[in-house]
Amino acid sequence: MIYDITKKFQFHIELTDKCNARCPQCSRNVINKENGQLQERPNLAFSEITIDNFKSIFGDFQYQIKRLNFCGNYGDPIFAKDILEITNYIGSDLLLKHPIDHLHLHTNGGMRTPHWWREYGKLLSTYFPNNHMVTFSIDGLEDTHHLYRVNTRYDRVLENALAFIEGGGIAEWSFIIFAHNEHQVEEARKKAAQYKFKSFIPVHTQRFYGNDYLNYVFNNKKVKIEVAKNEKANQRQEKASNWIRHSKTIINNNKGKISCKAKNRQDVYLDCLGDVYPCCWIGSWNYRRNYLGNTAEKDVHPIFEMRENRNAIKESLGQIVEDDFFKYTLPASFDINPCNICVKQCSDADVKTIKNRERL
């Protein structure tokens, strides 16, 4: 059994698959093989959870909620048109039914205006005075941030983040480390403390998948992104390369060794269509299969290919988390034949990005 209905649930929610940024290692973007152009994938669902959808999903949810996390795989929650209405609903209505412990949002920070962000800081500080967080992804400084966070501006992102903090919002600075910005980590950490961010998160990515670099073209400019040269970056590269070479052996060696994060944390993932999954990794795979016509995980597992999508907008979320897939099918697979993604993310194979939150 994945979920214990007597315990509090955590929800990871993708409010939308829309985004202003064109990060080259994000699944919503692609580098054209013919001309190297970095572009948005053409077959995205371009969907989002509206305030009415949100109310229908959680208004009748009968179990306890511990945490709401707005992030996702393909979009930025601040791009969702009803983000203010949804936040207001959580604070003014949902909190009366569920004593939610924490509200967390992740953003590139490049959208909206400083005024909007200042008001949003006031809103969160009103409903969640000491128990909210907005993670701003700022991958470098003035001369480097935009190289990965393509189509965003360092000065605007920082201005928005500072306005949010001025409004009473609690923020943290997330910094993905590459070869072009690793010399700036310490300076960024000092700036984060100076600007009163609550924490700083150096991120060691595995998204090069064993390669040393990638090239792209954007606005007629050629850019090369290289893997960082530090020890943790080398470890991520080694893990990813080992997986590519020996995935079948690694999967077989991890039967009975899956420590499912969804189970351990009572975590449920809802994508921008309202479809329900145990985690964002499985959700991303199914979205790619259904909309993008591709997936990095070939033949991930028959239990996911046979499972019909369960949608929380169209049916009861409470009934979905109690269905046979979560009760029996998925947990049984951990011991008999674990899927590729379960092994990569929730076993000793450890082929995932590492984030270390540092309190400032």
Residue 92 has pLDDT above 90, yes or no: yes
Distance CA 329, CA 323 (A): 10
The architecture (CATH level 2) of 9-359 comes to Alpha-Beta Barrel (3.20)
Cβ atoms of 274 and 49 within 8 Å: the answer is yes
Distance CA 170, CA 160 (A): 13
Report whether pLDDT(101) > 70: yes
Cα(first)–Cα(last) distance of the chain, in Å? 39
Q: For residue range 121-170, what is the model confidence (pLDDT) as tens digits? A: 999 999 999 999 999 999 999 999 999 999 999 999 999 999 999 999 99
Contacts 24+ apart (CB under 8 A), 258-261: 258/334, 258/338, 258/342, 258/343, 258/346, 258/347, 259/346, 259/347, 260/2, 260/330, 260/331, 260/334, 260/342, 260/346, 261/345, 261/346
For residue 135, the model assigns a pLDDT of 98
Rounded CA gap, 287 and 303, in Å? 16
Q: Is the pLDDT of residue 296 over 70?
A: no
Which residue spans within the chain are E strands per DSSP? Answer: 9-13, 29-31, 38-40, 65-70, 102-107, 132-137, 171-176, 199-204, 213-218, 221-226, 267-270, 276-277, 354-355, 358-359
* Burial classification of residue 267, based on how many CB atoms lie within 10 Å of its CB (0-12 exposed, 13-18 middle, 19 or more buried): buried
Residue 295, pLDDT > 60, answer no
Side chain identity at 268, as an amino acid letter? V
